[in-house]
Structure 1
């Protein structure tokens, strides 16, 4: 959710924030699930969400919007189209046909991988990574490493929601100019 300063800066943020339903104890006890499906039911709030990202990234010479499975697939394509960039899906293992490259990352209990098609991006391109929510930053960090391994410059990572009380670990190195968009 947005900080008080951010809410004062843009009058759309409180409306967007109120359109996201919080469901306690889902999918298990103690989790406060951020349900973005209710955001999609409010066409104005959903449109404003996309518009805020487009306003931020238009004119930044971003050639790739990389969306993290699965909710990054919802926000990424309309942003990519609006700023004139291609959309590249970043998926969990064995979901993409053809040759892929992967990056492993740690979960609370175990490990997972992020995959991308070989040849989807080119060295020197500028990328925006998008997802719905940042919690620990593990998937975002894996996406950054994956893109950088093939020579892509990650401009920023953008998320609609930041979970309060958790400290995201987005940067494994200091040179990332990361800035999450919190609603």
Structure 2
């Protein structure tokens, strides 16, 4: 189900549970806080069902959650869709052998990691996160997934901050896989 598959009442419920926090984490930033949505079992279930339906529709066998809010969203989606959950973490947080991928931030670089053995060439992977902003973390996760031999089934986010142009950064890397956002701001 795409954002148009969510009925108006459910969409309004989800939107009403996203709180704006001005000047966080720094002056001039309007932070979108999803904790009220997570605290509402009706809203959280509706969101989980939307993500799970996308996983099923696109034939995903695994769901990847991006640290940290992506974990909160992707874990119940994996249960609902009946598929595995694989975390993508900040460098140095996973034990054992990992694959890493560096990416550029506004001021500097960061690195994310995955356990390579958690994905295989037989997997179709849906990437789930709360917000698509500039697309750096999502793009790095797509590179990691492909390095394991797995196929990308798509990227799904609760919110897309369209003015930051993350979609344009990801579209070439997604190839035929969809990028779906429930809410575009």
TM-score, structure 1 normalization: 0.91
Residue 23 of structure 1, CA deviation:
0.4
Q: Which residue of 2 aligns with 1:58?
A: 56
Q: Is the 8 A contact 1:50 1:78 kept in 2?
A: yes
Residue 181 of structure 1, CA deviation:
2.2
Is 2:7 the counterpart of 1:10? yes
Q: Is the 8 A contact 1:141 1:171 kept in 2?
A: no
Q: Which residue of 2 aligns with 1:99?
A: 97
Listed as ranges, the gaps of 5+ residues in structure 1 are none
Give the count of matched residue pairs: 179
Is 2:101 the counterpart of 1:117? no
Q: Which residue of 2 aligns with 1:181?
A: 181
Give the aligned CA root-mean-square deviation in angstroms.
1.8
Spell out the pairing of 1:69-80 with structure 2 (5 A cutoff): 69-80=67-78
Q: Deviations over 1:137-169 (max 9, x none)?
A: 100000000000121110111111112422112
When residues 101 and 6 of structure 1 are mapped into structure 2, their CA distance, relative to the original with a 3 A threshold, is closer
Q: Is the 8 A contact 1:7 1:13 kept in 2?
A: no
Listed as ranges, the gaps of 5+ residues in structure 2 are none
> Which 4+ runs in 1 deviate beyond 4 A?
5-9
TM-score, structure 2 normalization: 0.90
Spell out the pairing of 1:131-170 with structure 2 (5 A cutoff): 131-168=129-166, 169-170=169-170
When residues 173 and 51 of structure 1 are mapped into structure 2, their CA distance, relative to the original with a 3 A threshold, is closer
Residue 15 of structure 1, CA deviation:
1.1
